[in-house]
Structure 1
Amino acid sequence: MNTIKYDIAGSSDEDMAPEPVRASNLEQFRPLPRISVHAFCITDTVLAVMEEVSRDRRMAKVSTRITSGGISAAVNMFAGAPTPNLVILETDSKPEDLLGDLAPLAEVCDPSTRVIVVGRYNDIALYRELMRNGVSDYIVAPVSMADIIGALSSIFIDPDAEPLGRSVAFMGAKGGVGSSTIAHNAAFMIASLFASQTILADLDLPYGTANIDFDQDPAQGIAEAVFAPERLDEVFLDRLLTSCSQNLSLLAAPSLLDRTYDFDRGAFLPLLETLQRSAPITVLDVPHGWSEWTLALLAEVDEIVLTCVPDLANLRNVKNLLDALRRLRPNDKIPHLILNQAGMPKRPEISPGDFFEPLEMQPAAIIPFDTQLFGNAANSGRMIAEIDAKSPTAETFSQIAHLVTGRVSAKKQKKSGLGTIFGLLGRK
C-alpha cells in the first residue's frame, strides 16, 4: 500500500503509545491555526464529542466537517475530492485488520494530509505499527474533547513556539458600575505584584478613561491598531504603547468623537492575537454593550470579569450575561463576578446574599462604596494602591490580580480581603 506521509518527529519502533490527554478543562491548549478537519464517526458518542469540539473557541479558525461513517465512507468521499489537512477516523477494526482497512485510504489521500485514528483496542504494538505507516495519532475510545483538541495541538502547534499571553476581559453588567476602574486597578496590581509585563487595552474608543486614570495623553493608541490591521505586528504595537508604570503599558483609546466607531465582528481579533504574543498578561477594558465584535472578543479571551452593583437591573443583566456566556463558552470557566459600590449611603440595595443566591454562585469580590478613596485616585491620576496601599480595597485588588492570573485561588487567601468579604454574604 502507499504510505500516507506525515511528519512525526521522533517516532520509531521503540516509541511507546503516549498517555492520553485527560484534562479536566481545556485551558492548557492554545487556539488552533487555520486548518481543515474532516471527521468520520461510526458511533453517536464520538459524533457528539466532535460536534462539541467544533464549537469550542480554540477551534474558531478551524474548518470542521463531520460525517457519519467509517473508513469506507472516507475512501469514497476522497476518491473524488481533495483531502483536508487532517482526517479523523473512528473505526472498530481489529488490530490485525486495521492496516489493511486503511490501505485504500492511502491511495486517495494527499501526501500532506494527516490522520488520527480513534480505535477500540489499547494495543501498543498496533500503535507502533500505525506510527510507522504514517498515522499521526491513535486514540483509544472513549474519547473526550480534551483528547481530540490535545491531539490536534500536538500535531499543528509548534511545541517550541513562544507561549501565548493570558487575556482577561473586564466588562460591566450596566453602564457606570465601575468596571473600567476595576480593570485599571487590577492591571496595575498584576504588573506590580508579579513584575510581569502587562498591557492594558482600553477598548472604549469614544469614551475610554484609562488615559485619564493614569494621567497620560498619548498621541497614538488603539485606534491606529484597529483601523490599520494590515500594519499590525509586535513592532507596530510597541510604538502605540504608553508606559504607565514599571511593567505596565497602556494601549489608550482616543476618547474623541471625531468619527463613529462601528466595527465588524472580527475587528479586534487581530489585535488580541498580537497582544497575546507581546505580553504575558493583557487586560481588556471592554465597554458595556452587546455587539458582534463584543461577542467575538468575549469568545476568545481566557478570563472574563463582570462588574455589577447591587440593584435589580444589574441582577437581571448579570443573569442574562451569565446565560449568554455559558452558551458562547460552554467549555470554559464561568466569569468572575465583582459586586462594586456596595453600601452606598441612602441607596436602597439588594443585600449580597439575596443578590447572589439566584445566580447560584459566589462573588470574586465585594468592593464597598468609598467615594473619597476612589475620587482622590481618579482626580490625581493614580491607582488605589498608590493612594493607600494598606487599605482593604487595595488588598482586594491584590487578590483579584491573583485570581484572574491563576496565581492563587481566592478561597486560599488569608482571612482578610476576599476572605472577610465572603463573610458578608451571610448578612441580610
Structure 2
Amino acid sequence: MSTLSFSKPKTGARAADFIAFVSDRQTEQVLKTFVLEQAMPHAHVAVGSIDDAIAYLSKIERSPLFLLVDLQNSVMPLSDLSRLAEVCEPSVQVVALGERNDVGLFRSLLKLGLRDYLVKPLTVELLKRTVNVTEGKINQVSLARAGKTIAFAGTRGGVGVTTLALNLARHLADDTHRRVAYVDLNLYGGAANSMLGLQSNNGLSDVLQNTHRLDPQFVERTLVSKGSRLFVLSSELDYGAAREFQPGALARVIELLCDSFHYVILDVADPADALAQEAFNHASRAYLVSDRSVHATRETIRLLRFIEDRDNNPQTSLLINNPNAAVSGKVAPDDLMSAVGRTALHEVQFEQKALATAENLGEAPAERAANGFNQAVSRIASDLTGQHLAAERSFFQKLKLKRK
C-alpha cells in the first residue's frame, strides 16, 4: 500500500485533517497534488480498499475532518459505506468516488450521510470545488449525519438502569469502537461516576446553565473521559441546591453531543423529572428496565405509554432485569409480558457477586465471572447497532449458496 503521510498531531487531536483511500495510482497522484497545493499539514493518502480504510480508522483516536473513499472495486457500496460509518464520528465529512454516473446511487449515498459523490476521472480542480479547506467543509449541501440518542429509564428504583446503561456504553466504546457520551441526568449525583472510578466535575449543571454560550469546544471541556472513546457528563450538586437552567437546555446539549459522538446515552434518574421529559422528546431509541414485581409491571404499562406518546415516538424496548436473587413470589416473565402487551427484548439474569465487586472497584465486570450479564449486554448492543440483522442476512446468504 502506497501512502502519503505528514506529521502526526498530538495525542487526542485528530489523526489527520484529510484521509483518502483510492483504488488506483493515477487517482492517488491527483490527491497528493491536491494535498500539497492546499498545504494540508495532517493528511494520509493511500492506495487501498474500503476495508483498508475501516482498519485504519479503527486504530486512530479521532476521525478526520474529511474522508474520501473509492467505490470502484466495491461490489456492495451501500453495505460497505454502512460498515465504514460505524468507525467514523458523525461529524466526519465523507466524499465517495466511483466510475458509475448513477443518480439512484447518488441519492442512496446522500441518505447514508455522505456529502458528495464524484465520478472519475478525478482532477485537482474538481477537488478544489468540492473540498473547501479554508472553511473546513464540503461545498455540496446535504443533511449531516448525527449520532443516536438513547434514553434508559427504570420502572422503580434499584432495577439496575445505570448498571445496564453504563455497561452498554462500555461495550460500545471498547468492543465496537464507537465514541460514546454518557449523560447521568441525576444532578445530585448518580452512580455512574463511582461505577467508573471517576469524580464528577459538575459539567452537566455548567452546560445547562450556560446554553447561551454553548459550542462544541465548551461541551467537550465539561466531559470526563474514561479511555479514548467513553466520556461522561454529570453533576453532583449539594442536596438542596437549586437547579438553575431554562427549559430546552438539555436539547441544545444533546444536539452538540450528537455532532461528535456515535451514541449519546441518557441515564434518566426520574421519569417525572423535567430533564426526563426533554430526554424522551429527543431520544431516537429508549430502553425501559423493569423487574419482576407487580408494582414494576404496572409502572411499565404507564411508562411505555408515557414515553411513546410524543411527537418523536421513540422506538422503545422492554428489558427485564433480575437485580436480586431468585425467590418465590416473583411475577413470571410470561405473565409480565402478557400484562404489558409487549415482548421483552431481553431478560438479564441475576449475577451473585461479579457485578457488585466490579461496581465497588470501578471496573468492568470480569469476563468469566459475569459471563451471563456480559452476554446480555452484548445482545442489547447488537440490537442497537443492527449487527444481529447483519448476522441474519449473512446466514441466509450462506444458506442460499449451499442450496445452489
Q: TM-score, structure 2 length as denominator?
A: 0.59
Q: 1:391 aligns with which of 371, 375, 382?
A: 371
1:412/1:255 CA distance change after superposition, 3 Å: farther
Q: 1:372 to 1:379 in 2, by over 3 A?
A: same
Per the alignment, residue 152 of structure 2 pairs with 170
**Conservation of the 8 A alpha-carbon contact between 2:204 and 2:234:** yes
Instruction: State the shift of 1:252 in Å.
Output: 2.5
Distance 1:404 1:164 in 2: 15
Q: What per-residue deviation string (whole Å, max 9, x for no partner) do you get for residues 235-254 of structure 1? A: 01111111113411111222
Q: 2:312 & 2:265 partners in 1: Cα distance?
A: 22
Q: CA deviation at 1:282?
A: 1.0
CA RMSD of aligned residues (A): 3.2
Partner residue, 1:125: none
Pairing partner for 2:336 from 345, 355, 373: 355
Kept after mapping to 1: 8 A contact 2:282/2:312 = no
Gaps of 5+ in 2: 1-101, 114-139, 395-404
Q: Tell me the amino acid that sits aligned with residue 363 of structure 1.
A: A
2:214 alignment partner in structure 1: 232
Q: 1:302 is aligned with what amino acid?
A: S
Cα deviation per residue 1:216-270 (whole Å; 9 max; x = unaligned)? 1143421111111122211011111111134111112225326133654413111
1:290: which partner in 2? 272
Match of 2:234 among 242, 252, 274: 252
Partner residue, 1:404: 384
Distance 1:410 1:254 in 2: 41
* Aligned partners of 1:166 and 1:276 also within 8 Å: yes
In structure 2, the CA distance between the partners of 1:329 and 1:181, relative to structure 1 (3 Å rule), is farther
Secondary structure, aligned partner of 2:355? helix
Is the 1:201–1:251 contact (alpha carbons within 8 Å) kept by the matching residues of 2? yes
What residue in structure 1 maps to residue 318 of structure 2?
Answer: 337
Distance 2:343 2:324 in 1: 18
d(CA) in 2 for partners of 1:303, 1:239: 26
Structure 1: tracts of 5 or more residues without a match = 1-15, 22-27, 31-157, 415-428
Task: Give deviations 1:127-169, integer Å, cap 9, x for gaps.
Answer: xxxxxxxxxxxxxxxxxxxxxxxxxxxxxxx844541111111
Between the two proteins, the alignment pairs up a number of residues equal to 265
Instruction: Flag the structure with more relative contact order, 1 or 2, with Cα contacts below 8 A and sequence separation at least 6.
Output: 1
- The CA deviation at 1:340 is 0.9
Change (3 A) 1:205 1:371: farther
Q: Tell me if the contact between 1:403 and 1:410 (Cα under 8 Å) persists in the aligned partners.
A: no
* Partner Cα separation in structure 2 for residue 214 and residue 257 of structure 1: 22
Supply the AA of the counterpart residue of 1:289. Answer: P
Q: What corresponds to 1:269 in structure 2?
A: 251
Stretches of 4+ moved more than 6 A in 1?
Answer: 16-19
Name 2:90's counterpart in structure 1: none
Whether contact under 8 Å (2:152, 2:268) holds in the other structure is yes
Whether the 8 Å contact between 1:172 and 1:308 is mirrored in structure 2 is yes
Shift in CA distance, 178/410, structure 1 to aligned 2, threshold 3 Å: farther
Change (3 A) 1:347 1:234: farther
C-alpha spacing 1:389/1:164, structure 2 compared with 1 (3 Å): farther
Residue 18 of structure 1: how far off its partner (Å): 8.7
| Deviation of the 1:274 alpha carbon | 0.9
1:365-397 CA-to-partner distances (Å, cap 9, x unmatched) read 11122241211011110122x454770110111
Aligned residue in 2 for 1:58: none
- The TM-score, its normalising length taken from structure 1, stands at 0.56
Distance 2:104 2:179 in 1: 35
Q: Is the 8 A contact 2:149 2:285 kept in 1?
A: yes
Percentage of matched positions with identical amino acids: 22
